[in-house]
Structure 1
Amino acid sequence: MRPHPDLSGTAPKPTWLPIGLGSLLRLVQIWMPVVGVHSWRQADTAAMARHFSQAGTPIWLPQIDWGGASAGFVESEFPLYPFLVSRLYNLMGMQEWLGRGLSVLCSAMTIWLVMRLGRRWFNPEAGWWAGLAFAISPLGVYYGRAFQAEALLLLCAAGALESLSLWRERRLLWALALSWLCFTTAGLIKVIPLLWLGLPLLMVQLTPSPQAEVESPQQILQRIRHLALNPWFWVYTATALAITSGWYWHAYQLGEASGLTFGFWGGDSDRSNIALVLNLSSWMNLAIRTGVRALALVGIPFFVIGSIRSWRIGGGRIALGGVIGLLLCTMATMRSSTVHEYYQFPLLLFSSPLVGLGWQTWQSKQRGWLVQALLSITVMISVMVLSFDYWAVEVRQRNIWMPLADTIRSELPAEARIVSVTGPDPTLLNLARRQGWLISNKKLTSERIAKLKHAGASHITGSFHWEESYRPLPKERRTMLEKLTASSSGAWIDPRQQTFLIPIEGLPKNF
């Protein structure tokens, strides 16, 4: 075996720098309410945390806000993240920055683990650059402080890889147990890690040493046979699958009983779409989004360089196994992947070490001023993407929705059930900290309102300009809402004519 050389020949760089820079970027606007890109996903997570804290329900009974007059128990992934946030609420009060802070903590620990993985797979210099690439990636920054479970998921994935590598090297039983715990938790938080994390974990088992060169096919087959006869492999895999399956069976039963689900199964599930898989424009859009938001443009050539340079060594096989696993998951969930960009977030766990190796290979032959200039440009691009695509969106949505949410909190009792005219988007319900119904303005009729009133709804609320928290409302529907508000007695209207709150009692029987 020939170790992969450290091309830098320089003194070790400080570990705290990528962690500190990454944490600083993730702390920007940490005090924001749950608004912004994919606020609807964060709103459901925040609602679960709020209900866990207020109602004291156990972790196996997650609740959301859009269950109408019901308690809102919902079929969901294992709600570990919102449950942990609810414990922080119980200690320090209900403040959304606590949830974001938990994500920042998880992300900071992941930066450290990414550096360890890069060092293990390649060398210390490449590992340091890998940590920096992860720290400043716009996608990594935003979802490393979002109010959702992605940061915890990536921490578990990185922990599973690092601890399984320790087991392979030193046969430490606690390391194998930790890897199993992290892998199982990742599968509970999201189903798809079973593939994109399972494949690189398998490569760890089949790699004699991360820095060993690729073996012959006969040697690989021999390792596969040896692994198939290892009882720990089957215990690790079978128990993780059994526990994950057990949770999702329970979640299915919960959804069947309540009628509330995120659409994991059945005809309502729209994650896959073969037409999109065969559509070139879908892949182009994904490539552009990944290149800009995950790799900040500058990382693209270094990702290519690192991939080419690494494919002949064991560590590269592990990293590329993760990339291939993400590609397969993208194909299996193509519709969701094209809509929900956080499906690409786990790519950073494997692309960052490859970018780090590529950057190290390039910078070792360049002048210092050129390296510093390109690094400065990369940070500037990342901050620009974050500013325009993420931070500015949070500011705009806060200014639109928080005056209405504050009015609902102060004017309506906590047990009031309201009708949010925001389609399938629960952002407003969560901001208002109320439960109720989600309805499209297309379905807002006298008959429907009468039924909602009979079910316990007291108010109708929404925006004159936004169909959801992020989608503009067509003009003809805005006119309809303005007429509805004008026909009501006691309606509250935002002074800027942005949002409204209508008591159902104040509406005429026909409008």
Structure 2
Amino acid sequence: MLIDKIQKQIQKSPILFLITLSISVRLYNINSPIIGIHSWRQADTAAMARNFYENGFNLFYPQIDWGGNSLGYCETEFPIYSFIVAIFYKFFGVHELFGRLTSILFSLLTIFFLYKLISKYLDHKTAFWSCLLFAILPLTVYYSRTFQPESMLLTCSIIGVYYFTNWLESEKLYFLFISAIFVSLACLIKVLPIIYIGIPLVYLAVNKFHLKIFSQISLWFYSLFIIFTLALWYYHAHQIYLEYGNTFGFWGGSTNRYQYNIIFTFNFWLEIISRTAIRHFAIFMFPIFIAGLFIPRKSQEEYLFDVWLLSVILTWVLVPTTSLVHEYYQLPMMLPGVVFIGKVFSKYLNSDHQRLNISKILVTSLCLCITTGSIIYSVDYMFKESTDKSEVIKLAQLVKQNTEPRSLIISTTGGDPTLLYLSHQKGWLINHSDITEEYIISRIKLGANYLVGSFKFVESYNLFVNDDQKQKITSILKKYPNTVENENSFISKL
């Protein structure tokens, strides 16, 4: 059969095929500026990279653009991703291309180590199909070419687990050291891997040592190293907040991440499950993923992927509001998730006449998955990276043309720093509805030069300004007239 012929060709160099495929689907629109889905998140990451390049490579003092007239040092996660991109800037100049290429590079490493891990506990055929789906599903593609650290996070996670399994098999300490480095990096990039990576690692260790786990001195040092590096960075980051006042809001009830009452509502789970099924699994892979959950396990080690999957779901419960709002909080689920899809394809996609109908169903589902995934990716993601249709790009160009370099601007874009980043300016962020004459005067005293915004959008992802907001801005502009002849935008010299 044709399927068997294709499989034989791929079997000669499966990883090369997967890497080539992954690169080809991720290079599309690689030169896109920071616009589109989650541009606010990407803009902050890109700003830190540019500020490292322009203001000195001090890894321990990340700078954002919305710190007003301060240095912009900010309490944030460990900015290693932005720092790596800044190193590329040092040699090749500032361009978002290098941030996207950095993400793609990490995604290729993820596929490589995911293949090796699955091959170790299952087989090469399952590893191939699992990684194939990881390579082409729409959101694993999208977030492996965005200017944000999610791709690096997945890489550090899978490498940390892989080398931990190597240590369990050989007990060579350098494997454990490598694992400790990458697990620490994963936890520094995002705190939650301490849950969804930590629990699977504990499972593997218990499965190996049973009750003797507590007498393993190397594991104590391993755990303390990870906890110490995590505590050290976030203590330092909080000191930055106390001194400079800038934060992404990690701690306390004001962060709005911990509204635990919503996890008991039907809508919470409906939203997350439907989003996962449609956007992450492109609809047609979701029932196959469910089917894979019921395939019998052949070893205790294979349950690693079950534990990993449940651990990711646990993090949704721990930070319910953030998980509900941001789809990339479901992205870590894809590392163990594709394994269950791979199991189904490995078991049933062959020329066995007794399973021929199942093979046809799987091939059809794969084709439909590619079709729906392409539509989701193009319409919901790539379309929004069109510079011709971007209102924030148009306003950023106006700002560049009508303001002096290194001006301080009050950007009425809510909590979205995209305009500040694209116009290469620094200043303050505020919502249309919150701006007052008193606020403007206070910022003028701090050095503000311009009031900038749009009558068509607040955040780059919220293309709507209501009449009350328009009226409020119009009244402000009576004292600080618009300097550009543009009915949709305003740039007022203060």
User: Aligned AA for 1:499?
Assistant: S
User: Aligned AA for 1:111?
Assistant: I
Following the alignment from structure 2 to structure 1, what is the Cα–Cα distance between the partners of residues 132 and 480? 56
Contact preservation (8 Å) 1:397, 1:469: no
The corresponding residue for 2:418 is 427
User: Aligned AA for 1:341?
Assistant: E
For the structure 1 residues 319 and 310, does the alpha-carbon distance in structure 2 shift closer, same or farther, using more than 3 Å as the test?
Answer: farther
Contact preservation (8 Å) 2:345, 2:362: no
Deviates more, 1:459-468 or 1:396-405: 396-405
The corresponding residue for 1:196 is 196
The corresponding residue for 1:177 is 177
Contact preservation (8 Å) 2:482, 2:490: no
Contact preservation (8 Å) 1:485, 1:491: no
For the structure 1 residues 492 and 127, does the alpha-carbon distance in structure 2 shift closer, same or farther, using more than 3 Å as the test?
Answer: same
Q: 1:321 aligns with which of 291, 295, 307?
A: 307
Following the alignment from structure 1 to structure 2, what is the Cα–Cα distance between the partners of residues 305 and 117? 21
Q: What SS class does the counterpart of residue 351 from structure 1 fall into?
A: helix
The corresponding residue for 2:51 is 51
- 1:256-267 maps to which residues of 2 (within 5 A)? 256-267=242-253
For the structure 1 residues 246 and 8, does the alpha-carbon distance in structure 2 shift closer, same or farther, using more than 3 Å as the test?
Answer: farther
For the structure 1 residues 397 and 58, does the alpha-carbon distance in structure 2 shift closer, same or farther, using more than 3 Å as the test?
Answer: farther
For the structure 1 residues 297 and 490, does the alpha-carbon distance in structure 2 shift closer, same or farther, using more than 3 Å as the test?
Answer: closer
The corresponding residue for 1:84 is 84
Q: 1:340 aligns with which of 326, 338, 345?
A: 326
Contact preservation (8 Å) 1:36, 1:393: yes
The corresponding residue for 2:391 is 400
For the structure 1 residues 72 and 237, does the alpha-carbon distance in structure 2 shift closer, same or farther, using more than 3 Å as the test?
Answer: same
Q: 2:381 aligns with which of 384, 390, 402?
A: 390
How big is the shift at 1:380?
A: 1.1
Contact preservation (8 Å) 1:302, 1:356: no
Q: Could you give the per-residue CA deviations for residues 37-63 of structure 1, whole angstroms, max 9, x where no partner exists? A: 111111111111111000004100011
Gaps of 5+ in 1: 1-6, 209-222, 505-511
Q: 2:489 aligns with which of 469, 488, 499?
A: 499
Deviates more, 1:478-487 or 1:73-82: 478-487
Following the alignment from structure 1 to structure 2, what is the Cα–Cα distance between the partners of residues 350 and 461? 45
- 1:344-383 maps to which residues of 2 (within 5 A)? 344-364=330-350, 365-366=355-356, 371-383=362-374
Contact preservation (8 Å) 2:285, 2:366: no
- 1:238-277 maps to which residues of 2 (within 5 A)? 238-277=224-263
- 1:90-239 maps to which residues of 2 (within 5 A)? 90-208=90-208, 223-239=209-225
Contact preservation (8 Å) 1:488, 1:502: yes
For the structure 1 residues 263 and 447, does the alpha-carbon distance in structure 2 shift closer, same or farther, using more than 3 Å as the test?
Answer: same
User: Aligned AA for 2:168?
Assistant: R
Following the alignment from structure 1 to structure 2, what is the Cα–Cα distance between the partners of residues 60 and 288? 39
For the structure 1 residues 41 and 493, does the alpha-carbon distance in structure 2 shift closer, same or farther, using more than 3 Å as the test?
Answer: farther
Q: Could you give the per-residue CA deviations for residues 260-279 of structure 1, whole angstroms, max 9, x where no partner exists? A: 11111123222111111111
Q: What SS class does the counterpart of residue 62 from structure 2 fall into?
A: coil
Following the alignment from structure 1 to structure 2, what is the Cα–Cα distance between the partners of residues 125 and 382? 23
The corresponding residue for 1:466 is 457
Following the alignment from structure 2 to structure 1, what is the Cα–Cα distance between the partners of residues 428 and 194? 34
Deviates more, 1:399-408 or 1:82-91: 399-408
Deviates more, 1:467-476 or 1:380-389: 467-476
For the structure 1 residues 306 and 256, does the alpha-carbon distance in structure 2 shift closer, same or farther, using more than 3 Å as the test?
Answer: same
Following the alignment from structure 1 to structure 2, what is the Cα–Cα distance between the partners of residues 416 and 316? 57
For the structure 1 residues 50 and 159, does the alpha-carbon distance in structure 2 shift closer, same or farther, using more than 3 Å as the test?
Answer: same
Q: Could you give the per-residue CA deviations for residues 356-414 of structure 1, whole angstroms, max 9, x where no partner exists? A: 11222232333666544332221111111111211112226862112221232344333
Q: What SS class does the counterpart of residue 409 from structure 2 fall into?
A: strand
Q: 2:285 aligns with which of 286, 289, 299?
A: 299
Contact preservation (8 Å) 2:285, 2:365: no
Contact preservation (8 Å) 2:45, 2:82: yes
Following the alignment from structure 2 to structure 1, what is the Cα–Cα distance between the partners of residues 344 and 426? 50
How big is the shift at 1:171?
A: 2.8
**Aligned pair count?**
482
Contact preservation (8 Å) 1:491, 1:503: yes
Q: Could you give the per-residue CA deviations for residues 339-369 of structure 1, whole angstroms, max 9, x where no partner exists? A: 1111111111110111111222232333666
Following the alignment from structure 1 to structure 2, what is the Cα–Cα distance between the partners of residues 267 and 102? 34
For the structure 1 residues 493 and 41, does the alpha-carbon distance in structure 2 shift closer, same or farther, using more than 3 Å as the test?
Answer: farther
How big is the shift at 1:483?
A: 5.5
Percent of aligned positions that are identical: 31
The corresponding residue for 1:67 is 67
Q: What SS class does the counterpart of residue 470 from structure 2 fall into?
A: helix
The corresponding residue for 2:407 is 416
The corresponding residue for 2:473 is 481
Q: Could you give the per-residue CA deviations for residues 110-157 of structure 1, whole angstroms, max 9, x where no partner exists? A: 112222222222111110001011111112111111111110010000
Following the alignment from structure 1 to structure 2, what is the Cα–Cα distance between the partners of residues 8 and 160? 36
For the structure 1 residues 486 and 29, does the alpha-carbon distance in structure 2 shift closer, same or farther, using more than 3 Å as the test?
Answer: farther
Q: What SS class does the counterpart of residue 392 from structure 1 fall into?
A: helix
Following the alignment from structure 2 to structure 1, what is the Cα–Cα distance between the partners of residues 130 and 206? 23
Q: What SS class does the counterpart of residue 346 from structure 1 fall into?
A: helix
Normalising by the residue count of structure 2, what TM-score does the alignment of the two structures yield?
A: 0.93
How big is the shift at 1:9?
A: 13
Normalising by the residue count of structure 1, what TM-score does the alignment of the two structures yield?
A: 0.90
Deviates more, 1:7-16 or 1:323-332: 7-16
How big is the shift at 1:439?
A: 1.0
The corresponding residue for 1:214 is none
Deviates more, 1:177-186 or 1:294-303: 294-303
Following the alignment from structure 1 to structure 2, what is the Cα–Cα distance between the partners of residues 10 and 427? 45
For the structure 1 residues 356 and 296, does the alpha-carbon distance in structure 2 shift closer, same or farther, using more than 3 Å as the test?
Answer: same
